[in-house]
Amino acid sequence: MIRPPSLPHWLGSLADSPALRSRLRWPAAAAGIVAAAAYVPVIPAQWNEAIYRGVVSVLCVAGLLLLGLLLLIRDTSSVYVAASLLCRLTVLGLVFTRLISPLRPLQRGGSWLDLLDVASLVSAAAMAVLCGFVIATHRRGNRAGPAASRPTSATPR
């Protein structure tokens, strides 16, 4: 008998978990990919302003792109949870870097109305909301399913 090659631990657990097959996976994946694409042109400017912002930007782009592609490939609950968490952190990071600009005047802190920042903020927020909605409906469906299928005991009178 021929065995398939073994998968790394994290891919094995992803392959073993059932796909949710949600209709919202396509818009959520598109929102993640758009957020990553909108954030790429901003990276050099953020890298020059502060290295920590550049590193965080690169990690956010890589994470958003990876999770968007994972949603396209296989939409498991673990991918939805990771995508929702990363998008929430990305939105908080974008808002935080706009509110707190250390040792710089207000003019150089960044514009809230920059088109790329608005696009990445809106699409990351959309991905977080869509993934959170899929997680909530999946959990609600799992709670209602087993309780409704439980046999009831009839007590004789």
Q: List pLDDT tens digits, range 34-82.
A: 999 988 888 888 788 778 878 888 998 999 999 999 988 888 888 889 9
Question: Any idea what DSSP says for residue 113?
Answer: T
Residue with structure tokens 């935080």?
A: 96
Q: What is the mean pLDDT of residues 2-9?
A: 52
Q: What is the mean pLDDT of residues 103-114?
A: 55
* Residue type, position 144, single letter: A
Q: Which of 27, 10, 17, 13 is nearest to 128 (CA)?
A: 27
pLDDT value of residue 102: 54
pTM score of the predicted model: 0.69
Q: How far is CA 95 from the centre of its chain?
A: 17
Q: 108 pLDDT exceeds 70?
A: no
The encoded tokens of residue 4 equal 């398939």
- Identify whether the C-beta of residue 69 lies closer than 8 Å to the C-beta of residue 4: no
Please tell me the least confidently modeled range out of 3-17, 35-49, 122-136: 3-17
* Domain ranges across the chain: 21-100+111-134
Q: Which of 49, 5, 41 is nearest to 116 (CA)?
A: 41
